[in-house]
Chain A
Amino acid sequence: MSLLTIEGVTGGYGGADILHGVDLRVGPGEIVVIIGPNGAGKSTLMKAAFGLVTIREGAVLFERRDITRLRPDQIVREGVSYVPQERNVFPSMTVHENLEMGAFIRDDDIRPQLDKIYDLFPRLGERRDQVAGSMSGGERQMLAMGRALMLEPKLLLLDEPTAGLSPLFMDQTFERIQSINRTGIGILMVEQNAKQALAICDRGYVLTMGRNRVEDTGASLLANKDVAEMFLGG
């Protein structure tokens, strides 16, 4: 059984369609990467999985449930968390408060989960009382992931988690994504740093102009000439 299944999804933001019959699948415990040129609809596809896009045709299933028409606040309760590409923290709130907001819908004791996040990202633990807006891009990205993990999701959607990070932070972020994945959480991510992303993923999709182009294992995509030419800088 798949964790997430996107079947022939066509839709957009109310105007012209951005996605044209896209298919995608994430299995339990998998890391799946979406690559493609700017404006291909990668972020839109991610949002389509999270109830943020008007889907005209096709369906989105999570486990066995049809979530095509659910709102984001309902999808979150199913076990999917989403980290947007931009503006993904609460800037005037502290690290600790950001994480609390991630757990807003939980009524149980969130301290064990907070400790887990601080273990995973020690930097956040050191800065728990710092205001998110005053942190570096890399730290903010960690916080954004931490916030999304507060609900202990089964699937984590990451939109360009390494955008704008220094090479050091980039490597760290990929490592963290792998450690999150090792705890059993499925990951679907959009990445510009295709080489590194394909190296850590199970499978990858190439998206162009709102359509599936290529779908293969990470290793095969890395070895694929066309893909190399387009996205891996030769």
Chain B
Amino acid sequence: MLMDFLQVGLYGVVLGSILTLGAIGVSLIYGILRFAHFAHGDLMALGAYFALSLVVGLGFPVWASAPFAIVAAALAAIAIDQIVYRRLRRVEPVILLISSFGIAIALRSIIQLVWGPHNQVYVKGIQMPWRVGDLIVKPDHVWIVLGAVVLVIALHLFLTRTKTGKAMRAMSDNMDLALVSGIPAERVIMATWAVGGGLAAVAGIFLAMDTRLHPVMGWSVLLPVFAAAILGGIGRPYGAIAGGMVIGMAMELSTMIIDPTYKPAVAFGLMVLMLIVRPQGLFKGNA
């Protein structure tokens, strides 16, 4: 029983790592542009498929294709923002939200057209798991968790040590003051999409490593990603880390009691509960 618990807990940490990387982007974008980016899941999928092209097309190992996928997804996110969202910024945030729904559908269709509608994987065959005591640990799981830890640390350094990172925090704190201080908003917004898009690509690749590639993979993970962002207090990238871990853990642990098909429902339930009880997130007060 304890062993089962640890085993499932490990899956929770793995899922939590993936959700965290997606939720950080959602939170950063919300903090600066004040809208819920519904295309974020499909951006994750796009990143995963970019990596697939290099794995299948050029025979790259997954880890070596990741940097290319990150850059490509970052550029895609910037392009989507410049072409679509940028024009809508002066109107109601709800219009941006709805347009991001449109982008989500468009991305999914593009993925299906380019890479096909069927399931795909990076590496065929079964990975030999390691045994740690009675615990079964897949090498991929280790890479996913380590990768997430490294990226979260890198993000922290970026937000606290670099001028652009600090400007992102300033804009999310007080947009009007950032503007009157002369902070170049459009440039910082671009950097935000680059960071959000890059992290989404990694989240997508990790999700594909853990499960498989499929055109709706991003759409189906969107709900838990949002649940994580909301749990952490949307607009707070640091909260998203805790939110991701709690949602990932809750989803996996729930499988010990209820049927695994209800995993998304667990995330949904937690999100709704949170919105009712503490809409500002797990941590302290005002946004």
Chain A positions within 8 Å of B, measured between CB atoms, are 50, 52, 72-73, 76-77, 82, 84, 87-93, 97, 100-102, 104-105, 147, 151
**Within 8 Å CB of B163, what residues of A?**
100, 104
CB distance from B17 to the nearest CB of A (A): 25
Q: How far is the CA of A72 from the CA of B175 in the complex (A)?
A: 13
**B170 within 8 Å of A by Cβ?**
yes
**Within 8 Å CB of A100, what residues of B?**
163, 166
**Within 8 Å CB of B185, what residues of A?**
73
Interface SS of A by simple majority: loop
Q: How far is the CA of A147 from the CA of B167 in the complex (A)?
A: 14
**B209 within 8 Å of A by Cβ?**
no
Q: How far is the CA of A90 from the CA of B173 in the complex (A)?
A: 6
B183 touches A101 (CB 8 A): yes
CB distance from A2 to the nearest CB of B (A): 22
**B153 within 8 Å of A by Cβ?**
no
**B37 within 8 Å of A by Cβ?**
no
B window 165-221: CB within 8 A of A: 166-167, 169-170, 173-174, 176-185
B166 touches A91 (CB 8 A): no
Given contact pairs A73-B179, A100-B166, A104-B183, enumerate 15 new A-B contacts (beta carbons under 8 Å).
Answer: A72-B180, A73-B182, A76-B180, A82-B180, A87-B176, A88-B177, A89-B177, A90-B174, A90-B177, A92-B169, A101-B166, A101-B170, A104-B163, A104-B182, A105-B182
A77 touches B174 (CB 8 A): no
Which residue of A52, A87, A92, A104 is within 8 Å of B181 (Cβ)?
Answer: A104
Q: How far is the CA of A90 from the CA of B31 in the complex (A)?
A: 13
A92 touches B183 (CB 8 A): no
**Within 8 Å CB of B183, what residues of A?**
73, 101, 104-105
Q: How far is the CA of A151 from the CA of B177 in the complex (A)?
A: 14
Residue of B nearest to A72 (CB): B180
A84 touches B166 (CB 8 A): no
Q: How far is the CA of A151 from the CA of B166 in the complex (A)?
A: 17
**Within 8 Å CB of A102, what residues of B?**
181
Which residue of A72, A77, A92, A147 is within 8 Å of B173 (Cβ)?
Answer: A92
**Within 8 Å CB of A87, what residues of B?**
174, 176-177
Q: How far is the CA of A89 from the CA of B163 in the complex (A)?
A: 17
B181 touches A89 (CB 8 A): no
Q: How far is the CA of A13 from the CA of B35 in the complex (A)?
A: 24
Q: How far is the CA of A147 from the CA of B182 in the complex (A)?
A: 12
CB distance from A100 to the nearest CB of B (A): 6
Could you name 7 residue pairs across A and B whose Cβ atoms are closer than 8 Å?
Answer: A72-B182, A84-B176, A87-B176, A90-B177, A101-B166, A101-B167, A101-B170
CB distance from B241 to the nearest CB of A (A): 16
Query: A92-B169, A93-B173 are known contacts. Are A101 and B178 too (CB-CB below 8 A)?
Result: yes
Q: How far is the CA of A82 from the CA of B197 in the complex (A)?
A: 34
Question: Which of B167, B181, B183 neighbours the largest number of chain A CB atoms within 10 Å of its CB?
Answer: B181
B181 touches A91 (CB 8 A): no
Query: A90-B169, A92-B169, A97-B166 are known contacts. Are A50 and B180 too (CB-CB below 8 A)?
Result: yes
Residue of B nearest to A157 (CB): B180
A73 touches B184 (CB 8 A): yes
0/1 string, B99-138, CB within 8 A of A gives 1: 0000000000000000000000000000000000000000
